[in-house]
Structure 1
C-alpha cells in the first residue's frame, strides 16, 4: 500500500493538518481542505452506491468547476479510472471516446446537453449510467450529480484500503490525445506518474504551501490537471479556479487574491497583452509565470517581460507531462531553446539508428522513467510503436547543444498547435476526404497572430468538379471540433511528392 502516491490521500492529510486552509477559490466560493475532503468522500460513497468499483471508468465532460475535481479525487480514492473528456469536441468524437473507454458512468455539464443528446446513450453496450451537473431535464436514465452526492454528506467510503494504490503503476487516468492515424488515443496515466509529475512541477514552479495558483486552462488537459491542480494539492496550496478564459477577469483576480503562480499558452499571453494598460490590475504578486503548448518567439517573450509577465517555458505532452523547461533568462542566453530536461526523468535525443545523438545532431526526443504513460488504452499496436526499448518516443525532432539545451527542429507526424490544442493533420484530412469531389488533401499548420498556428488545407478537386473554400470547411461541421477546422484552403492541380509517392508537405505553398 503506497498512500503517498495517491492524490486523494494528499487532500485527506492536508484536511487533517490544515483543515481551514483554502484549497479552491471558485466564483466567490471558498472550499477549504476539510470541505474538499468531505466532498471527495461523499462523491466516493455515491460512486460506490451505484456500483462503481476499482478499474471501472468514470468519464467526465465538464467545464472547470469543483465537481470536476470532486470526481477526480473520488476516483483516485476508489481506484476507479477517471476519464476527462474535451468539452469542445463534437458528438461524433464523443461517441468514439465513449465506445473506446466504455465507462460505467458518464458525467456531463448541462452546457453540453446538445452534443450528448445527439447520441443514443441508452443503446450503448455495456450499459452506461449518466449524471448531469447543472440545470437539465432529468429522466429515468439520468442522475442529478449534485443532489445525489449531497445525500452522502458526512460519510466516508467503506473501502479504506482503496487509498493504496496496491501498486503505484495502477491506472489513475485515461487522457485522450489526438493521433497521427486520425483516431484519438487514450494515454493511460498511473498514480506513480502523477506523483513524479508533481515533484517535477514542484521544482519548476518553486511551489510553496502559501502559493496561490490561478487555473483557467481546461482541467481536461494535462496542463490544467497535472501541471497545476495536482501539484497544488500535493503542496497544500490554493487554487483560484476560473470556468473559462477572460483576460480582464484574470487581471482582476491576480490582484484580488494575490496570485503567485500562473500558467498559460502563448495565445493567452497575446490576449493579456492586448488589454489596455489602464485596464490592467496590479500583478506584482506573481512570482512565476509559465508558458508552453505552442511555438514561442523572442518578440512575445520580450513584450511579456516588459508587461510584468516574464515567463519560464515548458514543453511536454499528454503521455509525459512536462519534459523540458527553461528559466526566464535561458531564452536570452540561448535564443530559440525549449530548455533542459526536468529533474525526474531521463530525456534524450536518439538518431535514426536509435543511438544517442551528438551535440548539434537532429534526432527524436525520447523519455524514460516514472513520468511515462503506461500504454495507450486498448491499443497495443500504437503502444508498441510509441514505447520501444523502454523509451517513449515523443515524435518531436530536436537537437541539443553542448550545455544540454534542447532546440526543436520539427514534429514527426506534422502536428501543429492551435490555441494550446494539439491538431493532427491526418485527423482533419480523413474528414475532408469524405467529400465526393475531393480527390486528395494535405493539411499543414500556418502561423496565426491570434492562435499561434491554424490549419491550411491544400485540396485537389476531382476532374470536372468545382468547390469553394466554404464547401471544404463545411465538411468539418459536426465532425471536428472547431479549433481543428482549416482557416485557409488552397486549391492545387497536383502535390509535390517523394519518389515513394508521399506528399512533400514542406514544399506546399
Structure 2
C-alpha cells in the first residue's frame, strides 16, 4: 500500500520472479475496508508508505494476522529509540544499492496459470472481490498493449494514475518494461506537472481516465506546455462523451479509447480513425481475446441488439480469491461474464449501453441510465449528470437525475425533459431530480451510484411537465 514510486516496481518484479502473489492495495481505503482486504488476502508480508503508519498501526495486525509488516518509512523521521515494530524498507535493501545485479534462476511458477496478482475490485456494491490474475494474463495483456500502443524500445510512457490499479500497473507499466522502454512515474496526478513532464521528457505514450483529461483541459492554454511528442493518448475507465474527445483532440491529445475491467484488463479498443467513422464506438476486440454478446439464456444476440459482454481467452482472471460462489457466477462455460451491456454493428464495432446492474425497470420496461445520460449531457448548462432508478409506489422504480450544473449557471430541470422529447420513450424520462455539488466516485472516476442514491434519499424533487407519463 503505497504511492507510486520505484519501490512499487521493485516489489512487483521481485514477487513475479519469486512466484509470490502481489496484492496492490488502494491507499484511499478507509480503516474497515483496509482491514477487510488484509484479512481476506491474508498476506505474509505487508509493505506500505510511511504516511499510512497510523492507520496501519491502529489495525493491530501483528495480533490478528500471521504476517511480517515492512514499512517504507525512514527511521530518522521518528523519535530516536522508538520501537515501532516495523522494518525500514530502505535500510533492508541498502546492501544492494548501486551494485551489479545478482542474477539467480527464477523460482517463479512454471505454470503460466499460477496466480501473479490479486487485485480487489472497487466494490461499488457489497464487499470488494479479489480478482486472481495469472501470469498468463499479464503476458497476454502486454502483447495486446504492445499492439494497441504500437510500443517500441524508445517509447516514453507517463504514468499518473495509481499503480494499485490494473490500468497503471498492467496496461502501462508492465508492457513498457516488457518492451524495454522508459517509464516516467508521478506519485500523484497534477495537471500542470503532467504538461511539464510531457514536454520535458518528450513523452510518447499516455493513459488517463476522463476525469484526468477534463482536469488537463481546465489548465489555461497559456500555462500548458508542448505535447507534440505524444503519439498515443489512451482514454478509458468510464463513459467518454464525443464532446470530450473533440476537445482533447483540439488540445493536442490524439485519443484512442479502451474498455476493460480489473478481471480482464483491455477487452475493446478504438483507434483515432474509428472515432471519426463510428461515433460513440468502443471499437473492436483486442487481438488476444474472443468477445461476444449474449442474452439471458446464453444465446448470441443479433446485430444491433443489446447483450451482455462475455470474454474468453488468455486475458481473463483465474478466479475470485476464496469466493467460489462468485467465481462460478462470473465464469460460466469458459466465458467470463462482465456485467457490461453493449451492442455490435454489422462491421463488428461494439457500443457500450450500460452496466447490467445499473439497469432499472420502470412500469415493466427496462431502462438503461447510460442511454438517458447521453441525451441529458447535451444540455449547455450541465456540468455532469447521473441517472439511477429509485423506488416508486406507482411504477416500481422511476428515474432520478442527479444534476451538477455548470458554475454560475441556473438550470431548470424541466429543460432536461425538453431534450428527451423525441429522443427517448417517455418511460425513460427521469421523473425526479436532485441538485448535487459533486458525485462520489471510485479511483477511476466512476460514479458510485448506490452511494449517491443512499445519500440523497428523500431529497428528490418531481420534475413538473405536462404529459410526463409512462
Shorter-chain TM-score range: 0.7 to 0.9
1:241-390 maps to which residues of 2 (within 5 A)? 241-390=185-334
Please report how far the alpha carbon of residue 120 of structure 1 lies from its aligned counterpart in structure 2 after TM superposition: 1.4
Please report how far the alpha carbon of residue 128 of structure 1 lies from its aligned counterpart in structure 2 after TM superposition: 1.4
Aligned to 2:421: none
CA distance in 2, matches of 1:151, 1:139: 23
Describe the shift of the 1:302–1:140 C-alpha distance in structure 2 as closer, same or farther (beyond 3 A). closer
2:171 aligned with 1:231: no
Please report how far the alpha carbon of residue 449 of structure 1 lies from its aligned counterpart in structure 2 after TM superposition: 7.8
2:57 aligned with 1:117: yes
2:30 aligned with 1:62: no
CA distance in 2, matches of 1:365, 1:448: 30
Secondary structure at the aligned position of 2:194 is classed as helix
Maintained 8 Å contact 2:400/2:460: no
CA distance in 2, matches of 1:483, 1:411: 12
2:431 aligned with 1:486: no
Secondary structure at the aligned position of 1:301 is classed as helix
Aligned to 1:21: none
Maintained 8 Å contact 2:294/2:309: yes
Tell me which moved more, 482-491 or 405-414: 482-491
CA distance in 2, matches of 1:361, 1:483: 26
Please report how far the alpha carbon of residue 150 of structure 1 lies from its aligned counterpart in structure 2 after TM superposition: 1.4
Please report how far the alpha carbon of residue 294 of structure 1 lies from its aligned counterpart in structure 2 after TM superposition: 1.0
Secondary structure at the aligned position of 1:183 is classed as coil
Q: Deviations over 1:125-175 (max 9, x none)?
A: 3x211111134546352100111111345487796241x431001111000
Aligned to 2:20: 80
Please report how far the alpha carbon of residue 123 of structure 1 lies from its aligned counterpart in structure 2 after TM superposition: 1.5
TM-score norm. by structure 2 comes to 0.76
CA distance in 1, matches of 2:219, 2:123: 36
Aligned to 1:462: none
CA distance in 1, matches of 2:170, 2:46: 21
Please report how far the alpha carbon of residue 332 of structure 1 lies from its aligned counterpart in structure 2 after TM superposition: 2.2
Q: Deviations over 1:377-409 (max 9, x none)?
A: 000000000000000000000110010111111
2:83 aligned with 1:139: yes
Q: Which runs of 5+ in 1 are unaligned?
A: 1-60, 418-422, 430-440, 451-468, 495-506
2:41 aligned with 1:101: yes
Q: Which runs of 5+ in 2 are unaligned?
A: 360-368, 371-385, 391-396, 407-433, 462-467
CA distance in 2, matches of 1:443, 1:104: 47
Aligned to 2:338: 394
Secondary structure at the aligned position of 2:119 is classed as strand
Aligned to 1:46: none
Aligned residues: 388
Please report how far the alpha carbon of residue 412 of structure 1 lies from its aligned counterpart in structure 2 after TM superposition: 1.6
Root-mean-square deviation (CA, aligned residues, Å) is: 3.2
1:67-216 maps to which residues of 2 (within 5 A)? 67-125=7-65, 127-135=66-74, 137=78, 139=83, 141-153=85-97, 154=99, 160-162=105-107, 164-179=108-123, 182-216=126-160
Please report how far the alpha carbon of residue 115 of structure 1 lies from its aligned counterpart in structure 2 after TM superposition: 2.2
Secondary structure at the aligned position of 2:23 is classed as strand
CA distance in 2, matches of 1:388, 1:121: 37
CA distance in 1, matches of 2:103, 2:149: 36
Describe the shift of the 1:444–1:72 C-alpha distance in structure 2 as closer, same or farther (beyond 3 A). farther
CA distance in 2, matches of 1:119, 1:324: 40
Q: Deviations over 1:452-473 (max 9, x none)?
A: xxxxxxxxxxxxxxxxx9xxx9
Tell me which moved more, 404-413 or 179-188: 179-188
Describe the shift of the 1:264–1:447 C-alpha distance in structure 2 as closer, same or farther (beyond 3 A). farther
CA distance in 1, matches of 2:86, 2:305: 56
